[in-house]
Amino acid sequence: MLTLLSRNSCSEVKYTIYTISRCTYDLTMAKTTDYWVEGLAAAVFTPFDENRQLDLSKIEPYCDHLLKHNVRYIYVNGTTGEGNSLTLQERKMVVEKWIEVSKKRLSVMVHVGCMNLTESLELTRHAEQAGADAIATLPPLFFKPTNIDALVRYCKAVADTAPHLPFYYYHLPIMSHVNLNMEDFLNRAKDEIPNMAGLKFSDKDLVDLIGCSFVDGGRYNLLYGCDEQLMAGLVTGAHGAVGSLHNFMPDLYNRMIQQLKEGDFDSARKEQIQGQRLCRIVYRYGSILGGNVAALKAIMSMIGLDMGPPREPMRAITSEEFGKYKSEIESIGFSEWH
Ligand SMILES: CC(=O)N[C@@H]([C@@H](O)[C@H](O)[C@H](O)CO)[C@@H](O)CC(=O)C(=O)O
């Protein structure tokens, strides 16, 4: 309990009080429930060479960049990391490399979701052995859970495989097409999944998000994943953010979070609109390239970190497209505010 208090001592008073209440709530769970993400988590890209093969040598400078910009959490092998386009072996190698180079300076959350449970459990065991700090999973993407019971059973099977790791469910209905109510899910999961830590909530349904923030006295850590409206997510109950934009514009989002804490909503809105403007350009190029990750990866080159091309079915941006894309992004002031 003392550790928890000192860890939160720099945070706002409300978080400290909240943590005390979580400790009081269930001391026996301290090992798993004291994991708590506040602020930004970068959903990291997986770097490839020009042949779309892993290029792990790009991870160390990438890690240095995130640390330099005060990012302390990463989310590995998720959507941005093209996790579902990697083999199991590749996913393990990426996780090991991040853990090796970050030397505990970054907290590493690993996405372990696969099309089948057996492989998800293999990645879960691997994440635990490799020294990950937390795991998260998407639902299976072909035979999908069609009701809360099925989703809870599936998540429990994953979470029980690493009972000492905090477990997050990755709610991404726009891509998973599993669109179940998360407040109902948490209310069921609380009795079934002891190491349930929270949600990576990548949906615009803020009615559901605020509901989640009150489940079981507000004990679940909610990480918002729609960078274009992070401000709304934070006001509605999210404690932190997991997103792709936090790779290349963390300064802006960190400023916005600080402004919100100070109650300066006007300034925060002015930061948020920049993220929204950038996303509108990304979506346009993303639709040409077969997916937003292809367009987002290209922005990394603009800050001097080449992540290589995306894997199929996305395609790499051509140099002609890159030139136009870059000047559009520059025209909204990217180099001034990122
Ligand atoms: C659907 C999607 O990829 N969403 C992104 C956002 O960061 C997204 O790129 C951003 O909000 C722009 O739409 C993240 O939530 C994804 C993420 O965190 C991940 O890599 O798993």
Q: Judge residue 232's burial from the number of C-beta atoms within 10 Å of its C-beta, 0-12 exposed, 13-18 middle, 19 or more buried.
A: middle
Question: Is 82 near ligand 1, meaning CB less than 6 Å away?
Answer: no
Question: Is 73 near ligand 1, meaning CB less than 6 Å away?
Answer: no
Residue 58 has a CB neighbour count (10 Å cut-off) of 20
- Is the pTM for the entire model greater than 0.80? yes
Q: Which of 244, 284, 292 to mutate to test the pocket of ligand 1 (most atoms within 8 A of CB)?
A: 244
Question: Is 43 near ligand 1, meaning CB less than 6 Å away?
Answer: yes
Give the atom of ligand 1 at the shortest distance from the alpha carbon of 242: 18
- List per-residue pLDDT tens for the chain, 338 residues long: 222 322 333 333 333 333 333 333 233 333 345 899 999 999 999 999 999 999 999 999 999 999 999 999 999 999 999 999 999 999 999 999 999 999 999 999 999 999 999 999 999 999 999 999 999 999 999 999 999 999 999 999 999 999 999 999 999 999 999 999 999 999 999 999 999 999 999 999 999 999 999 999 999 999 999 999 999 999 999 999 999 999 999 999 999 999 999 999 999 999 999 999 999 999 999 999 999 999 999 999 999 999 999 999 999 999 999 999 999 999 999 998 87
Alpha-carbon dihedral of residues 283, 287, 289, 294, nearest 10 degrees?
30
Question: Is 243 near ligand 1, meaning CB less than 6 Å away?
Answer: yes
Residue nearest to atom 5 of ligand 1 (CA): 243
Question: Which DSSP string do the residues of 120-161 spell out, in sequence order?
Answer: HHHHHHHHHHHT-SEEEEPPPSSS---SHHHHHHHHHHHHHH
Question: Is 202 near ligand 1, meaning CB less than 6 Å away?
Answer: yes
Give the per-residue pLDDT at 338.
Answer: 77
Q: 39-264 in CATH: which number? A: 3.20.20.70
Whether omega for the bond prior to residue 313 falls within 30 degrees of 0, making it cis, is: yes
- Cα of 46 vs centre of ligand 1, distance in Å, is 14
Residue nearest to atom 7 of ligand 1 (CA): 243
Question: Is 275 near ligand 1, meaning CB less than 6 Å away?
Answer: no
Known binding residues for pyruvate: 80, 242
Which ipTM score applies to this complex?
0.98
Going by C-alpha positions, the residue among 324, 322, 326 that lies closest to residue 338 is: 326
Would you name the residues annotated as active-site residues?
Answer: 170, 200
Residue nearest to atom 18 of ligand 1 (CA): 243
Give the per-residue pLDDT at 33.
Answer: 59
- Cα of 246 vs centre of ligand 1, distance in Å, is 10
Known binding residues: 80, 242
Question: Is 292 near ligand 1, meaning CB less than 6 Å away?
Answer: yes
Residue nearest to atom 2 of ligand 1 (CA): 79
- Cα of 282 vs centre of ligand 1, distance in Å, is 12
User: For residue 229, how many C-alpha atoms fall within 13 Å in the half-sphere facing its CB?
Assistant: 12
- Cα of 244 vs centre of ligand 1, distance in Å, is 5
Give the per-residue pLDDT at 337.
Answer: 80
